[in-house]
Structure 1
Amino acid sequence: MTAKKERGRFSLRFNIGDPVQRAAVELLELQPPHSKAQYIANALVYYNTHFSDDPQPLKVPAIDRAAIEAIVREIMRQDEQASDKAVSTGESSPPKKNKIALPPQEQTTEPSEGASEVDDMTRNLIASTMAAFRRNG
């Protein structure tokens, strides 16, 4: 491998599909201009100092197919209930499809098997994906 042209210069592209990398992007976006390099340097040194015994990247637990299907069914049931409620109250405008508001966990009736291991961020990603399919479908 040849030496770099300019030591200290790096180019990064994050995978937005990876929740850990997406969180990193969101944190970097919060940084003031011209301070991202210092932020990353501080994070790397801290991580290496405190976790040098286990330098493995953070692992996001895989979500099994049954959990995803349970979430999709739950979102579809919520959409159907919202649409039924709109019809029964006589609202003339159909419910908005571009945003799906998920109720708090406490309101959910007994989660399906596997759904409890899924966090709110994953639920929102699935909901927004379904909304995108509906808009384009």
Structure 2
Amino acid sequence: MELKASEDIEAPIERVFAELADFEAIERQAMRRGVSVQRKGAAGAPAPGLSWTAGFTFRGKGRDAEITLTDYAEPEQMAFHSVSGGLEAATRIETVALSRGRTRITFVTELMPKTLSARLLVQSMKLAKGGIEKRFRHKMAGFAKDLELKLKGIG
């Protein structure tokens, strides 16, 4: 199952990508939302192989996820591979300069179930795909708006 959303931001591609690659800020934001995040390896310049362990609650149960940065090509794209139980996810974030001061961000996530319970979860998600896609696009739009305000110095 694939989820995809694109949003345009009034900011140069270099600044947008720098914000998307500010992993320390993203870690802090996740922790404020109740996710325990632990980076594996030294802090420094982002590069493939950088990884995190995250703990969170989903459907009333504690879950763990392993997230690995698999591709990093500044300022065009980065990709992640995540594993949580029997569910794997490949996430790609692409940035495209539409003009000197406008950037399009595209998020693509593909869910790949590896166990029967993960297949059942993904199958139920497919049945509700319209609503899930709508929420995904809505969250992406909110994220893009917040990012744009932050880059303008308003947020």
**TM range, normalised to the smaller chain?**
under 0.3
Q: TM-score under structure 1 normalisation?
A: 0.22
Which has the larger Rg? 1
- Which structure dedicates a bigger proportion of its chain to strand? 2
- The structure whose RCO (Cα within 8 Å, separation 6+) is larger is 2
Q: TM-score under structure 2 normalisation?
A: 0.20
